[in-house]
Amino acid sequence: MNLWFTENQTDNLRLSFRVKNLVEFRKSKFQTLAVYDTVEYGRLFTLDDFVMLTEKDEFVYHEMISHIALSCHPKPENILVIGGGDGGTIREIERHSRVKNITLVEIDREVVEISKKHLPFVACGFDDERVSVIIDDGIEYIKNHKNKFDIIFIDSTDPVAFAEGLFHTDFYKFVFDALKKDGIMVAQTEYPFLKGDFIKEVFSSLKQVFPIVSPYLAFIPTYPTGMWSFAFASKKYHYINDLNPEFTKDFAEKLKYYTPEVHKAAFALPKFVKDLIE
């Protein structure tokens, strides 16, 4: 069978996956959702034909968006996740027994539904009693909560359509206000090789709001260029100086990407990335 799913990563670059089966395709109020079985990467989940995750490499994104901040905050009791309706990020956050409450605010109810139905490997943590799922616009939600969270994760889609507002200075100010006085924010911030100007702008915005800001990087094969960036933005704790390897020790053997050494290394930026944000 010669069936392929192709992502137009940019107008001029395409990644194609050989597909065994189209599992589901539907349109929600916000976007089109699809699930495929691929030969190389297992189950594949797309929104508007952009790769959200694959079964084989999702561990990188989800471990790296979550454990970095959770390894720097000494008392991460109240956590907010904006987006992340597939459940992968909360699955990782739940490993930390110090976490008491996780609020997940997902705009599209059908992302949660389709994930529970077809992506059990990521959507396995919704029943944890610490989790509350709120179907709402993350921007509206965050505006209405002040001084409440220890860590906020912005686990969003790409900066287009309804997710575009998640990458602006005004939004980062709401996030700052929603955090407690020693809070940390982590956000996904796209791919430096081809989105240099975007990343420059995002980090310039973040630096206007937070005193401690740095990108960090991870290898994600199914995202454009394979080099993905995240923003660490913090009021008090430093991404290296406050790293405590004890915080991941209990479940270190279960992880496939994150280690305390990888944590430190993720902030060692290739020179062209360093130059972008300085």
31 assigned binding-site residue: yes
Contact 31, 17 (CB under 8 A): no
Q: Using the rule CB under 8 A, is 270 a contact of a copy of itself?
A: yes
CB atoms within 10 A of CB 10: 12
Residue 192 DSSP class? T
Of positions 34, 69, 166, 269, contacts a copy of itself by CB under 8 A:
269
Task: Return the range that interacts with a copy of itself (CB under 8 A); candidates 24-32, 34-42, 110-118, 230-238.
Answer: 34-42
Binding mask 41-80 for a copy of itself (x = CB under 8 A): x--------------xx--x--------------------
Q: Using the rule CB under 8 A, is 127 a contact of a copy of itself?
A: no
57 among known catalytic residues = no
Q: Are strands 179-188 and 149-155 parallel, antiparallel or unpaired?
A: parallel
Round to whole Å and give the CA distance between 266 and 258.
10
- Per CB under 8 A, contacts with a copy of itself among 215-234 are 217, 219-221, 224-227
DSSP for 96-139, written as a single string: -TT--EEEEEES-HHHHHHHHHH-TTTTT-TTSTTEEEEES-HH
Q: Using the rule CB under 8 A, is 265 a contact of a copy of itself?
A: yes
In terms of CB distance, is 131 or 213 closer to a copy of itself?
213
Q: Using the rule CB under 8 A, is 169 a contact of a copy of itself?
A: no
Among residues 57, 108, 150, 155, the one annotated as catalytic is 155
For the record, the structure tokens of 139 come out as: 């921007």
Q: Using the rule CB under 8 A, is 249 a contact of a copy of itself?
A: no
Least Cα distance to 132 among 208, 204, 170, 80 occurs for: 80
Round to whole Å and give the CA distance between 196 and 278.
12
Q: Residue 199 — φ and ψ, nearest 5°?
A: -65, -40
Q: Which residues are catalytic?
A: 155
Judged by the rule CB under 8 A, the positions of this chain that interact with a copy of itself are 4, 6, 10-18, 38-41, 56-57, 60, 193-194, 217, 219-221, 224-227, 255-259, 261-262, 264-266, 268-272, 274
Annotated binding site for spermidine: 62, 86, 155-158
Annotated binding site for S-methyl-5'-thioadenosine: 31, 106, 137-138
